[in-house]
A and B are shown apart, each in its own frame.
Chain A
């Protein structure tokens, strides 16, 4: 893949929510480009609109202004070329692991044998062999998210949009899943837009970290992470980059606090 091709393009993105009689500007003049095969983390204080950005790209939320395109195509509504992984997994409880993964293929009308071949491939990819016929309820959080990732990938989307996918997991599982994601990413070479509020996670995963401002959200700073992979959380390099990102973020956290205290 030619690393320089632009995949996700956002220009002058605006999002205004109406709440009762008030208008809340969630995003204002948000600009970002994500290159093909790149893993970009969106980082910011809570309520800064990072999830909103992701949902607009996914087509789950209409934008109020600006332009969004994925692989050169203007975004209008949800579509299978953008796979989404949700924090709460959003698996269909009545479907087995395999059936969950095959959902997108079913909808496309892929014939059964091909469907099974594809789902088997992704079950292997996320290391869920032996759990094909198990229902989500019987799986641990980490395994559920493996299903979530496989399900999104099975559609072979142009980009993978991940909304704090490991936010609901315990610390250990979280670290494991981050490594797993990197493995899967290198195997599939997908473009990933990854929303997180964890600096540590962002530094461990990202090619570039996009730090957002407090509301109204826009890009405050884009920090490239030059550390080669596999990254070691205890290396001085990692710790210094993390410190850098934290300091950029800190002023925004303070702003958010002030916003919350003023009751906005």
Chain B
């Protein structure tokens, strides 16, 4: 018995050593190409970034709020660069509509009213943030805590670094053009897709894809006493706990106006969470548009562009939701205090199709650094 047990122990030990050796032989664990200007990236969900950063599996990450403040408040991470420092006023989340929804007068009317509610909610948030002693700010924090399931200090920190903004101004369209050009350069969007979509060029595409006229009409929408669509609610798509999309949470809240009605109801709208909402990412919202489960959605601008051009999902961007609000986070105490400090290190990104990935790529390019997948 003893003899056999020891034989087995030896076999196990030998096998583990073998597997371990194989691991190190098969994977080149060298830190750097040696060219001295490469930053490596891996892809992982933002929800796990704080954990992997704390555990030392990554050296930094780029993500949106509240995943930035999550690490900062927890003492795990320090912000190396806010996204506004990379591309000032860069677009982030948008409100998009499924084209069939606005194919008739009734749908157009509902969409305009929806945008009025969106504007109203955004203005209310901005006003509340002006005065942190106000009861409105406290209510805002409450709504944000409920929506993101983060604690108050994380929410406060995150709100301080976000700008809620709905206008589809020139900064917005120019940035969308730039992002689209980048995707074309990288081959993510095939050159033929612009023409296939019936557009002359990228500028024409952005011009047609972004329709600011609803925002203009919305300015003249007045509150009504009755619900206009009692039997067919607007099916709303949005992301799980994405603080950028706080406006829709505020518009749903029956406490904001003080008259027992939500902002949506105040403008005569019956709005329901779509089947599947909250969604995991913007791509999923676009998929739900394609499947016909969502009428109006809050989502990041890159999936809106990618899925519209590549997967021909018939949508139109009606408004912005927020600008900026993402950041590059590094481990607290790592000593990394500039982008050159990331050379040879591993930075986690939410995915190559995310706006955060593009921002990381842009800022590294500005510094003369290149971004490569960690192999």
Any A–B CB pair closer than 8 Å: no
